[in-house]
Amino acid sequence: MYQHRNHLVRGFSSKYNVCRLVWFSVGDSMEAVIKEEKRLKKWNRDWKIQMIEKSNPSWKDLADELA
């Protein structure tokens, strides 16, 4: 989260100035998490928004709760 918020790694977060965590998932292994991330990246934007709003309707920053 620190790297994303401070844009230390080039990629989506730094390119689009993303700094809020509004949804996350926990996996059994790094491989499982990467597989899930790749699956979700194929979803269209509306599906992703629906997924976020189902669990976090106010779009609050969840990073503070995890820290």
**Which pTM does this prediction carry?**
0.76
32-42: pLDDT as tens digits: 999 999 999 99
**CA 51/CA 40 separation, integer angstroms:** 10
Instruction: Return mean pLDDT, the chain.
Output: 91
* Contact of 19 with 2, CB cutoff 8 Å: no
Which residue type sits at 25?
S
**CA 12/CA 65 separation, integer angstroms:** 23
Task: Give the pLDDT mean for 25-49.
Answer: 94
**CA 23/CA 59 separation, integer angstroms:** 8
pLDDT band for 64, please (50, 70, 90 cuts): confident
13-25: pLDDT as tens digits: 889 888 899 999 8
